Amino acid sequence: MKSSGIGGQAVLEGIMMKNKDKYAVAVRKPDKEIELCVKEYKGLTSKCKIFGFPFIRGVFNFIDSLVLGMSTLMYSAQFFDDEEDKSTDKKIENNSENKEIEKKEAEKEDKSGTDKTESVIMTITMIFSMFLAVGLFIVLPSLISDFVKNKLDISTYAVVSLIEGFIRITLFVLYIVLISRMEDIQRTFMYHGAEHKCINCIENGLELNVENVLKSSRLHKRCGTSFLFLVMAISILFFILIPVQDPLKKVVVRLILIPVIAGVSYEVLKFAGRSDGIIVKIISAPGMALQRLTTKEPDAQMAEVAIKAVEAVFDWEEFLKEDNQ
């Protein structure tokens, strides 16, 4: 199986696909039409050569993924905000047509500040999300493991680190299980499955159509879920090798090591994406298993959206020709 190099993510009722510096967002609007937006995104690794070096690029690729992911998610959400506005507008229209005119004039005046407002909201959301992630998956497991260590009088640092790693992974799985119960998240996970199915369809040498997409696997080795699991698994090794007893210093050291661990995890994931060896399959197995929670089987309409996004940034026909040569 040849790697296509394309990747993406699910957004609200749609999918973003990225190939090199080009990305496309396809969204199934409330009127059932597919809206397609194609743009270029110059990531940090393309702006500075050093950022593209092995074991360094993983950190900056992750940052790029967060920024682009949040931006495309907000883009997809606007179609459903518009739909709510239309429903409100109809009620207003029944009362007075003048209010509709006033609303349009107000929208024109506010349009110049919309981009700035969205940028501020996106920045605040990202910062809050990072603090939440650090608290839930770094600080909390460290505090719980210290509590267990004192209660059970465990003196071996490696054992404490293993307990901490187990707690971290358990919290991560529980978090996924809890959010997967939300209706909107379930649909997002279905689009996530459609994204994977499209990539698997192409990389397994099949023509990109709805039938082939739906019969392809919804699990993929280069998935972000697998990356996050690798980060947590590899962190256990790093934390064992760098023992710190003081609780506060331990948290600080873990935070400092995050970029290093992310860089190593990215290289492992990248290698796994282009290899089918037995060792790679063993390494990828836990992350692939977790994807059964973060992906769901999509329907035909979701597959159509995914295909639109892929075809906007990737020449799959040329890819299949090269693969068959």
Segment 314-325, tens digit of pLDDT? 999 999 998 777
Q: What is the pTM of this model?
A: 0.87
CA distance 230 to 30: 37
pLDDT at 275: 82
CB neighbour list of residue 67: distance below 8 Å, 6 or more residues apart: 126
- Residue range 151-165: mean pLDDT, rounded: 93
Flag whether pLDDT at 22 surpasses 60.
Answer: yes
pLDDT at 92: 47
CA distance 131 to 143: 16
% of the chain exceeding 90 in pLDDT: 71
Do the Cβ atoms of 261 and 204 come closer than 8 Å? no
- Residue range 262-273: mean pLDDT, rounded: 92
CA distance 88 to 91: 5
- Output the average pLDDT for the chain: 88
The model's pLDDT over 197-255, given as tens digits with 9 standing for 90+, comes to: 999 999 999 999 999 999 999 999 999 999 999 999 999 999 999 999 898 999 999 99
**Encoding tokens for residue 196?**
């994977």
Flag whether pLDDT at 160 surpasses 60.
Answer: yes
pLDDT band, residue 91 (cuts 50/70/90): very low
The model's pLDDT over 167-179, given as tens digits with 9 standing for 90+, comes to: 999 999 999 999 9
pLDDT at 127: 85
Residue 138 is classified by DSSP as I
Flag whether pLDDT at 119 surpasses 70.
Answer: yes
Do the Cβ atoms of 216 and 200 come closer than 8 Å? yes
Query: What residue spans of the chain are helical by DSSP H?
Result: 44-47, 57-95, 97-134, 140-152, 157-179, 183-203, 210-215, 224-241, 247-273, 278-294, 300-313, 316-324
pLDDT band, residue 280 (cuts 50/70/90): confident
Flag whether pLDDT at 89 surpasses 70.
Answer: no
pLDDT at 1: 66
pLDDT band, residue 117 (cuts 50/70/90): confident
Among 76-80, 264-268, 271-275, name the one with the lowest average pLDDT.
Answer: 271-275
Flag whether pLDDT at 269 surpasses 70.
Answer: yes
pLDDT band, residue 124 (cuts 50/70/90): confident
